[in-house]
Every structure is written in C-alpha cells, then in structure tokens.
A and B are shown apart, each in its own frame.
Chain A
Amino acid sequence: MAIPQELHRDVRTEEFLLNMGPQHPSTHGVLRVVVRTDGELVLEATPHVGYLHRCFEKCAENTTWKQVVPYTDRMDYLAAMCNNITYTLAVEKLMGWEKLIPRKTTIVRTLLFELQRIASHLMSIGTYGLDVGAITPFLHCFRERERLLEIFEEVSGQRLNYSYITPGGFQYPWPDAINRKIKGFCEYFEERITEYNDLLSYNGIFIERTKSIGVLSPQQARAYGCTGPMLRGSGIARDLRWDQPYLLYDELKKEGVFRVRYQGDKTPDPRDQMVDWSLGELGDCWSRYMVRAAELEQSRRIVLACLAKLDKLTDSEKEAGAGNIIKEADRAYTAPKGEEAYFKSENPRGELGYYVVSDGKPKAYRVKARAPSFNNLQVLTEISRGAMVADLIAIIGSIDIVLGEVDR
C-alpha cells in the first residue's frame, strides 16, 4: 500500500511519532512499538523489547537442573507445559536418559504437549479476535481453555505455571482417571471448532480485516528465522513434529494421525480438510490465524490417538511410567562434564530450543533458550511497512508473541 505521491506534492503533511506500549491493550504484554505514521499509515514500526527481562539464563546458572523447570514455566507462560517438556527433553538428552524414559511417560508427555497447544492456540485465536474488535470469540475460547486449565489443575495443581514435567518423568504420578475427562473434552471440543469458524474465521469482516495484511513472503520468513504458524502461514511445510520427530510423533506420523503437508485432494469429511490446512498459502494474517485454527483440530486428533495408546498399555507399563525415574533424594544429579546438548521442539509459537551446557556439577554451566517469539517478532518492522494503524495491531496479534518468552 504505497503512499500516493500526489499527496506529498499538494499538501504539506507531517510525520507523527506514536509510542505504542509498553502499556497498551493490544501489544500482548509489555511490548513497546515506536510507530512513525503518516496519518493512519504506518511508515515504520520499531519494536523495543526487554521490559520483562528477568535474566532467566543467569538464574538457570545458579540453580540445579531440576530447579530450572519452574523458571521455564515463566518463559512462555501460555504454553508452560511445552516449555517444561522441551527443557526436560534437552536435559534428558544431555544426561543420556532417552532410553530410560518409560513409554507411558512419553505418551503422556505427547498428550500434554498437544493439550497445551490447544490451550495456547485458543488463547491466541481469542485474543486475535479481541485485537480486531470481536469480543465474543475471545470469551468462547476462554470457556474451552477453562476446561483445559481444569484438567491441568487436577494433574499438576496449578492453572498456568505447571512445572509438572521434570527430567526423568513427572513431578507427581499421572492420574489415570483424568483420561476420561480429557476424552470428554475432546468430544465436546469438536463442535466448538466449527463454532469458532462460523463466528470468527469465516466472518466477512474478519477476513476483510486480515487478508493481504502483514504479508510475509516465504523468502522473508526463512531469512528471518520465523517458525511455527508464522512459517507455515507463508506456505513452507516445516513442522518439527513432522520433520524431526521427537516424543511419540514418529509413531503418530507413521500411523497417519496428523498430516502437515497440504494434500490437495478433496476428502469427504470437511474436518479432514481442516487438518490439512495447517499450512497457509498466502503469508498474510488470515493464513497465520487459520494455521492455528486448523491446528486445534489436528491437536485434538493427536490427543485422542494418545488416549487410545494409553488405554492399550499393559499394567506393568502403566506402573513403570507412573512417576519419575529419578528418586527425589537424588535430585541434585550431575551431567557429564563438558557435554552439551541442543534440543528443539515445535512449540505452539514455533521452534523452541534449549541449549544446555554442563561442566559436571549439579548446576547448569549455561542454559540458553531459543524463544520462537523472539525471532518472530523481528520481522514486524518488515511486514508492517505501509499498513494502517489498525493493521499494525492485527499484525502484532497474528505474530502471537508472548513477552515472557521474548524478554526471558
């Protein structure tokens, strides 16, 4: 959307410097964006981060491996379970415990990962509706998220910062009875996805607001290291669950529970199309939004598949995966000296990685987190050039940042 040259010739206009944030309703936290505008048009938007910096990495150097887990909760506080799992897997990779982890633990972690993805995407979709002015979808999403939080609360005792997954297993044994409730949720949730689509996704005004806005070309997305829905929204089929499977995803992938690539063929069940649509094509805000909306259905299916797998476990397997393979008394375990590991997983917001370095002591020598939002936010300046002020809000919302993760 170029600014017509005639305007500058005929009328003398001035640029307007607008300081959006760190206290602003739609910057999703304490993001500060300095916007240079020409009337309603954004000439340049520069994000300034760091208002929530609390030196996670320094804290992690001063605590034992296990004690870092509660800190990872606070990174991406909307997907705390994913952060726990990724950190735990990184530590387990460092320790060389991968083979020791019981099958049930792996299944449950996959299940929780996907439940958390649903919860996080619900938040993302809901607040995105709020950003463009639709308030009701926000509360509908929160209604379903509330059910998920109840499940998480009964599992871990907390509603947001679970710190449930620790290296070696869980903090508490997995309550098998909760499976029934999760299944109930999945059934209940199926109709709701249709409702979100009716109410928001395919709403004409919503589409008008988000289509062709903040267009991120695939080349840009690759160059700027965008991951997750940002990258998939631009049409690049990249999903670590598919490309470099971890946890149970290899098995699920072979079973065909989820597909990431766009198949192109028409399937009789429209919901199957939804699963395939986790890949956008255009790279605009609507594509990114729809990737998330489609992943709701995708994750729901993975959760159901995990539940089926849990039911099939033998009793001995169930017993083995009930708790943690590490005794509480041995909580100050040490990693091999000079060893380091980098583990990345597909978080709801993109590729989350933990780089852990050990020097043979019970404390980490260095923990570095690769936060997806941190990378995705970089591209804001590029894609918001020439948009309107209202579009800028839509673009920030579609990037779906969590400032706890950006600032760490």
Chain B
Amino acid sequence: MNFKDVVAHLKERHSDAIEGTDETKRDPWIVVKKDKLVELCKTLRDDPKLDYDHLSLISAVDYPPATIEIVYHLDSLRLNHPLVLKVKLPRATPKIPSLVTVWPTADWHERESYDLMGIEFEGHPNLTRILCAEDWVGFPLRKDYKWPEEYHGVPCGPFAGKDVNIPPEWEQEGFTTRKA
C-alpha cells in the first residue's frame, strides 16, 4: 500500500482522527488529533491490511513559540510501507497519551522525549528521566534551553563562544581565549 491508499483506508475507519496530510514532502506524513491517537494506532497495528507492527522512532521537534511536534515513524515488517504520523502539541503544556499499550517499544522512546524535550506522556508506567541524570534541571533539546553553569560542581555547557576549553589553572593566571 502506498501512502494514498493508507490514508484512504484510515479515513474509512477514523475519519475524525486525521487533521491533515502532506504528500509533497520526502516522507509524506499524516497529522493526527491527539485525542484519537491511541485508537488510530491500534487500528494501524491490528488491521491486517496495514499491519504496522514496528514502531521505529518517536521524536519530538520543538517549534517555538507555539508548538511541539511528536513524530512517529512506523513500519510494517511484513508489508514494508513506512508511515509518518505527526501530532502537534501546545508548547506550554505538551501532553499526549502514551503508546506503551500499543507498542511496548514506545516505553524508552517516550521516556527519552520526556527527558530531553519535556513531553508528558499520559498513562506511561514509569515516566522518569532516562539519559540525563535524575536531578537534571530543564529539557535540553528545547530551543530556548539555557545551559546550567555547573552540575554538582562540574562546569558544563556548550564550548562555542565560551572559554570552557581552557584548563582551570590558566584562568587563575588571567589567560583567556580570544575568538576571532
């Protein structure tokens, strides 16, 4: 099934779940309503014509000031017709139902999105930080993220534009890097 057939097939079942589609892009995508996501995904998984049994990736993309997009990359191991789902969330309160019940592999992916982007997945059994430390402050992949000066006494932050790449003993001597 190509993209159009998938969309047509889905519209038969869930006409109200699909907000829109974009076929002009390299990977055409479907924009799904947040409330209908789980139902739609169950259809995607269970319908023998669709058979999307492989959740490849969950990623969150931050589009300040208003939205955060959650992108689901799906694939079928048997039928080989990849699909992209998108859900748009308000940036202030990014909440979305969890897909752990549909694809258990969503577990760590959702934790990662929570960890780095601050998305709250409702119904996730164990929504804790996974890659960052448990007491880390902020969500690093947001575009407006401010790097902390230090973490438990260890200086951290991006190197560009700062003098971090100077050994501490030099700074005492008043030596700093000058960037062109």
Contacts and interface: CB of A to CB of B under 8 A. Distances in A.
**Are A and B direct contacts in the complex by CB distance below 8 Å?**
yes
Interface of A: 49-50, 53, 55, 57-58, 61-62, 93-94, 96, 222-225, 227, 231, 236, 238, 243-244, 339-342, 344, 351, 353, 355, 357, 365-366, 368, 370, 374-375, 378, 407-408
B13 interface: no
B154 interface: no
Interface string B140-176: 1100000000000000001010000000000000000
Q: Give the size range of B's interface with the partner.
A: 20 to 34
A340 B73 CA distance: 12
B56 A353 contact: yes
Given A222-B54, A222-B77, A341-B26, A62 B160 contact: yes
A355 B140 contact: no
A99 B130 CA distance: 40
Contacts of A344: 56
A57 B130 contact: no
Interface stretch (B4-12, B35-43, B104-112): B104-112
20 contacts: A50-B133, A57-B116, A58-B158, A62-B158, A96-B26, A224-B104, A224-B105, A225-B56, A243-B77, A342-B56, A342-B57, A342-B73, A342-B82, A351-B56, A355-B57, A355-B59, A370-B56, A370-B73, A374-B108, A378-B105
B104 A342 contact: no
Contacts of A224: 104-105
B25 A340 contact: yes
A30 to B, nearest CB: 12
B69 to A, nearest CB: 9
A339 B107 CA distance: 28
Contacts of B133: 50
Contacts, number: 84
Given A50-B131, A225-B55, A236-B77, A378 B71 contact: no
B73 A355 contact: yes
A49 B129 CA distance: 10
Interface in B39-71: 53-57, 59, 61-62, 71
B120 to A, nearest CB: 19
A53 B132 contact: yes
Contacts of A339: 25-26
Which 3 residue pairs of A and B lie closest in terms of their CB atoms, listed nearest first? A225-B105, A368-B59, A370-B57
A243 B62 CA distance: 32
A12 B78 CA distance: 50
A164 B104 CA distance: 36
Given A339-B25, A355-B71, A378-B105, A50 B132 contact: yes
A407 B131 contact: yes
B17 interface: no
B131 A375 contact: no
B73 A55 contact: no
A327 B80 CA distance: 36
Given A50-B131, A50-B133, A225-B56, 7 more contacts: A50-B132, A223-B104, A225-B105, A243-B77, A353-B56, A357-B61, A374-B108
Contact of B80 (A58, A244, A355, A368): A244
B32 interface: no
A57 B27 contact: no
A351 B129 CA distance: 24
A58 B115 CA distance: 13
Contacts of A93: 26
A376 B160 CA distance: 34
Contacts of A244: 80, 82
B96 interface: no
Nearest to B53: A222
Interface string B9-36: 0000000000000000111000000000
